[in-house]
């Protein structure tokens, strides 16, 4: 793991939208091999994903329309960090906006990367417990549908056709481990 990283010969923004930049990197590896790679980056490169568990040991999931896959997806509440927020603050805000509950206990689990080969995006996973009703208006176009799923039935959740996102699957297991050993 101590290899010499490639030299970046040139880097250019080759495409740009309202949210994203696509950068082309010309690289020379330490063995003189050359490659042209692309990476996507933007201002929205840090997010949170919140695994909230209620007193009956249910996970709080939401179903929301996803523009990338163009269908409704089920997963844990998540969102982009707003300026000045730390991950725990962002988690409580997203939880209130998407489920109507706030948490009295928030705990960082792990920070995941998303497609690091092409992107520079990190998601902080946060475990939220001690829930109480405290809704907050967010920017959701329609209220997310709240789904309570029993923690004892992880296998059943993994069979749900709309529960497929890599970050939600990773968070499900990490949170479950944390709860079992706490």
Kindly list the residues in this chain that would bind a second copy in the complex (CB under 8 A). Answer: 1, 3, 5-6, 14-20, 22, 24-25, 27, 29-31, 33-41, 63-74, 110-123, 141-142, 145, 147, 158, 162, 164-167, 169-170, 173-174
Rounded least distance, CB 134 to a second copy, Å = 23
Kindly state the smallest distance separating residue 7's Cβ from a second copy, in Å.
Answer: 11
Query: Who's near 91: CB < 8 A, 6+ residues apart?
Result: 48, 50, 103, 106, 124, 126, 128
CB count in 10 Å sphere of residue 78: 24
Q: Among residues 85 and 120, whose Cβ is nearest to a second copy?
A: 120
Residue 53 DSSP symbol: B
What is the bridge-based pairing of β-strands 78-80 and 145-150?
Answer: unpaired
Least distance (Å) from a second copy to the CB of residue 132?
26
Closest CA to 159 of 54, 74, 52, 53: 74
CB of 101 to a second copy, least distance (A): 20
- CB of 92 or CB of 123, closer to a second copy: 123
């Amino acid at each position: 793991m101590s290899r010499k990283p490639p030299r970046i010969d040139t880097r250019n923004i080759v495409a740009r939208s309202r949210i994203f930049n696509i950068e082309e990197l010309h690289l020379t590896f330490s063995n003189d091999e050359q490659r042209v790679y692309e990476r996507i980056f933007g201002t929205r490169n840090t997010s949170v994903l919140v695994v909230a568990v209620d007193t009956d040991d249910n996970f709080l999931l939401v179903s929301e329309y996803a523009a990338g896959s163009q269908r409704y997806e089920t997963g844990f509440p998540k969102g982009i960090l707003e300026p000045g927020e730390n991950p725990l603050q962002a988690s409580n805000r997203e939880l209130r906006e998407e489920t109507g509950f706030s948490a009295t206990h928030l705990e960082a689990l792990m920070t995941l990367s998303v497609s690091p080969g092409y992107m520079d995006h990190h998601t902080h996973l946060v475990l939220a417990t001690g829930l109480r009703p405290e809704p907050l208006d967010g920017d959701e176009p329609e209220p997310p549908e709240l789904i309570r799923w029993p923690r004892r039935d992880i296998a059943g959740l993994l069979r749900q056709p709309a529960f497929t996102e890599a970050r939600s699957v990773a968070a499900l297991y990490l949170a479950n481990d944390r709860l079992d050993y706490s």
